[in-house]
Structure formats: structure tokens, C-alpha cells
Structure 1
């Protein structure tokens, strides 16, 4: 009898804990004399930490999710500075942009040379320059993933640049950096983190390692998500969600995602809505579609048991059914003020286009069962 075979890859070093961001200068010492620091639209929030870095730092601010054009501008600024290393201090968008900049500094070329789907998809042959990811939201887990998502308004699509060499040299996760996240960001990023634990748990690419990490991530989501939204200064809840996000990133990087993120990549290229809010609106309808399809066409599929496990972890009840888990998710989405996709600007006339593109998305390939166009359509309409 042959056992499972799998691989697992992550950041070279993970440093976690409240207050540990202060160690950043010591952790990047030796990375060169010049660094480019990518951060959000309010870099003064991190001024003391940036000023303490042991190298000459150029600051590039990022507002909104990164586009191909933004990536080109950031790389140009880094090259002009002569940067030998990259540090991202921010949310998933800032970290994804940092991964892209570090990769392009190491490999040369243009983002479209390497982008999947809409670009040339060239292999990334050389290592990135040293890159440190310091998240200030608890959501994407981008600090431990090997891809970076860029939007291309020209193509109306989001796509990834992806290589194992893009994994950060350092993932520094300090829950205290998330304390001043506004409630809407806490909600969207937190529901993204939950999604990124649930989808790998039921993924067709799941492994024993990712199962353990994703399940633990769901435990942290259950303990921290609603509490962090209710009181952003609750450090215990923020720590739960930072762990959830980290564990989700570790899981998705090695087991992939599913149809929720398949939809989100397409919709995110069409409407300016936070990625996590898109995932949140879709999570319950897609879960329902998956469970229904599995029961109809693959009743003995291990993903059904995984969905039951998720329900138990989220509700805290050993007798919880899959439906109880779906209702916990739906109730949390309502409690956290997430609106439907139509309210976010998705034109219902685009439903068929979104469904068509979602079916071929790389994330959708990890879904536990192949959903028909009609099933995808039903889930998307329910999320409007």
C-alpha cells in the first residue's frame, strides 16, 4: 500500500509574536546597503521602524491593490535607488507588490513577462533579492505564499506571478501592527483568512500537513474573528486572527484554494471591491454549491468529512452539521457588515462572463469537485 506523497514550502524564516516587529532592523542586517520599503498610504505609521533599518531606505507608498503599472513604477524606483533588498510593511497588496519587486530586481524584465493567464508566463529562473514581509492586516497570509497577484485594467483581470523563489526570506508577523485596522478592513481581511483555511482543507490538493494547519487556522478564526471586529484593541483576538492568516497562507501555498478565489480573481479585475469582501460574499454560496454537488456526484468524497470538521471547529459543537457551519459563516458575514456583490458594483449583466472566466481560473482547479457552469452561476447569483 502506497502512502501519500507531497511537498511543503514556505518562507525561509517565520517570526511571530506581539511586539516582535521591533526586531526587524536586526533581522535584515547584512542584506545590503540600500533597501526599498513598500508601505501603505500612511508611511508615517511606521516611520520609527523604517528609520531604524540599518540601510539607506527609499520609501514607495501603495494605495489600493497593485496593478501591472504600479509594479513597473515601484521597480523603477527600486532600481533608481540601487536597492539590494525589499521590505514590505502593509497588507496583502503591499506584500504582493514587494514580492513582485524583489523578483524583478533579481530577474529583470517586465511584470507581463512572468504573469500567468494574461502575460507571457515565462519561468522565473533566478532568485529574488532578499525580501521581508511584515503584514499589518490579518487576512491574506501573503507573507508565506509564493505568488503575487497583480490587476491589469487593460485585460480586466487579475493574475499571478508565481515561483517558489518568491517566498519571502523573512515573514515577520506582529499582531500589534493590526490593532489600528478599521472595522471594515478587519472584516474583509479576516473573512479572507477564514476562506484561506477552509478552501485548502477541502482542496483536491490537500496534504496531511496542510490539513493540520488549515484546521488549526479555523479554530483561531472561530476564537478571534467576531471579537476582533467588535473591539479592534483586543490583542488576544488580534493574535488569534494573525495566526489564522498565517496558517491560511501556509495552507494555500501548498494545497491551493478553490472556486471562491476563482471567482474573486475574476471579479476583482472588474470592480474596485476589497478582495476579502468579495470572498466573504461568496463563501457561503460556494460552500453550499460544493456540498450539494459532492452529495449528488461523489457521496464518499473526503471533502464532505472535511466540511463537517470545519463546521465543528467554527461552531465549537461536536454535533455540528455541514449546514450549521454554512449558517455560522453566513451569520458572521452579516454580523461583520459585508454587503452583496451587486452593492459593491458588480453588474448582474456580467454574471455569464464571470462564470465563464471562473471555470478556467487557476484557483478553481483546487476546488474539491468540478462545478458545472450552472452551479457556478447559481452560487454567484446568490452572492449578489
Structure 2
């Protein structure tokens, strides 16, 4: 029997309308909440039920300096609980602030690749994650992705101490997402179920949630994109996002995110749209490499299972997954990767060293990564 660990938020609350429970949860967690949110703090601030001790906003994927400034603000007001209400960038900011408050350290002390990479020794203050998009699954992950403009890439703070005390997932909060955000974030959620499913570090628990996430995305992503007020489709995508977060936290990601992290640190592009552009080319490259170098790999049968989940056809083969992904990305009007060819070599070189590559089912060489980038642009 396989042995595995399973890292999860301390408590997960899921369901339409459950955001109304947030105010009642806070007294047991802290007295001075700091609210992390997006451009419009008034949009969801009322959910706290009282005025926060401080509000910090982020309108982009957070940088190291964004986290420093937000942590300084939270320390100044004596914050003892962090509530993040927003998309993945907001949630990543919130979990970084929470853990730094508990450790009294700087983000570069712990940041992978571009920082010192020191382990996070102590728990943070309680962190409550309330996603308003269905994409990153950040409410369930043990990392926070930060951009380092000085180094031209994204890197993570990573520790079990980053897991939320409460992940409160209310699909109704995603009803206002515009179609382009629904498309890019939804394809990111789908990717975060697909990559852990074919990862060498997959286990029975991650298989279960990843497969269910793929099934729900296949039936509801296009509906959520075309009909933003379809509550059932929004619920499916919120579950896909949550399940993707659980899966990636425990079974790793692959070459899509290995490349996307570097692309996102090199050019200004939404993470979900970058993943969407890379998804079919990476799956195609992985299938080719597996057939050429590791024809006995169990990943080949897993890709066939992915194809069956996505297409709903019992006779689907692995290549049908590539076709389904290409057609879906096209139908959702996701643009190709906007990365100048002159940068392809640098991106491929940096991506090959990315920690996200740990979950790829086969090692892709520099030429193969270059071919992926060319196909995605």
C-alpha cells in the first residue's frame, strides 16, 4: 500500500452563501483583523462584520516589496489575524503576510531560488482565505507565489505553516467574474488538476480530487464562460479550483507551471492565460517524450484517463486530450503567449531549474521546452 502525506487547510467551508459565516468565525481567531483585498476594498469588506484594523490592497501578482509593505502595515496595527478576500494574488499576499507576522522575518529570508530559502520555523497568525475567482486554488495550498522584478521570475514561499486556518469557498462570490477572467482562471484550475494527476508524486487522495476536478471543469468551464450567472457551473469551477489546490499542494505541478512562473516574471501577462496557452503544447511534448524515452511509464495511461475525463468518451486516447485542450482554449478566446522569440532561450533555461518541474512525468530538455514556447506563441 502506498504511503503518503496529505497537507490541508485546518478547516474548509464550501457552499453557496457561506461567505455570510465569515464574521462569526473571526472572534475565535483574533481581535484585530487585517484585510487583504483587490482594487475595491468596499466590495467585500462588509463580510468581516466589523471594521478591520487595517486594509492592504494588491491589484497585480504580489511582489516582494508588496509583501514587505503589507506586513509592515499589519505589524503597525498589531494585527493578529489575516483575512484575504479576492483572487489568487490577494490570497498569496495574505498568506505571506500572516506567516511573516508570526516569524518576524523578511520574505527574502524564505523565498526559493532568489532568496535565502530558509525554512519557516514558526506558525503565522491565523489566515482566512476567501477566494472570489475559481482558478489558483490558493485557499488550499502551502505556498505563496511572489514576483521578484529584480530577478525576472516568480518564486515561492513554501511551508505547511502557510496553510489557511480557514478556507471559506463560496461559489456565489465568483458570479461577477468577467468572461476573460473566468476563462483564464478556469483553465489554470483545470491545469492544477491535470498536472498533479500525471505527476510521479500522485497518490490515491490527490487522484480522487484531481479526477473530480477535471470532470467538473470539462462539463462546466464553457458554461461558466458563456453564462456567468450559471450558479451550478460556478459551483463546479469553484470545486475544481479547490481540488486543484489540494492536488498540487500534495502531488506537485509540472512543466506548464515551470514555464509559466518564468514567463510571468519576464513579461506582464495574467498567470491563468499563460498556463492556458502552454497547456496543450506541454501535454503534447510530454506524450512525445514519454513514448520515445519511457514507453512503459504509467503516465501514458494516466493521460489516457485524462482524455476520458475531459471528453466524456470511454474510447478516448491520450492524444484526444491534446485536441480537447486546444479546442477549448480556442473556444474561450484565450490569446497565444505574448513572449518575444528572443526571450525563449532564457525562459527555457530558467524553467528547467524551476521547482514546479518536479511533478512533470518526464524530463523535458532545453530543445523540447523551446518547442513548447514556439508552439504556444
Q: TM-score range by the shorter chain?
A: over 0.9
The separation in 2 between residues aligned to 1:168 and 1:201, in whole angstroms, is: 23
Specify the alignment match of 1:76 in structure 2.
72
The unaligned stretches of length 5 or more in structure 1 are: none
Residue pairs, 1:237-316, within 5 angstroms: 237-316=233-312
Cα shift at 1:135: 0.2
Please name the residue that 1:46 is paired with: 44
Moved over 2 A (4+): none
1:201 aligns with 2:197: yes
Whole-Å Cα distance in 1 between the matches of residues 109 and 363 of structure 2?
Answer: 30
1:374 equivalent in alignment to 2:367: yes
Give the Å deviation of 1:62: 1.1
In the other structure, the counterpart of 2:170 is 174
What are the within-5 Å matches in structure 2 for residues 1-384 of structure 1? 3-50=1-48, 52-53=49-50, 56-342=52-338, 346-384=339-377
More deviation in 16-25 or 372-381? 372-381
Structure 1 SS opposite 2:35? strand
Whether the 8 Å contact between 2:35 and 2:52 is mirrored in structure 1 is no
Choose 320-329 or 165-174, whichever is displaced more: 320-329
Q: Deviations over 1:189-243 (max 9, x none)?
A: 0000000000000001111111111101101101110000001111000000000
Q: What count of residue pairs does the alignment treat as equivalent? A: 377
Q: Hey, what's the Cα distance between the residues in 2 that align with 1:176 and 1:351? A: 40
Q: SS of 1:262's equivalent?
A: helix
RMSD: 0.9
Give CA deviations for 1:148-192 in whole Å, capped at 9, x if unaligned: 000011111110000001100000000000000111110110000
For the residues of structure 2 that align with 1:47 and 1:113, how far apart are their CA atoms? 31
Q: Tell me the TM-score normalised to structure 2 length.
A: 0.99
Structure 2: 5+ residue runs without aligned partners? none
- Matches of 1:367 and 1:199 in 2, distance apart? 7
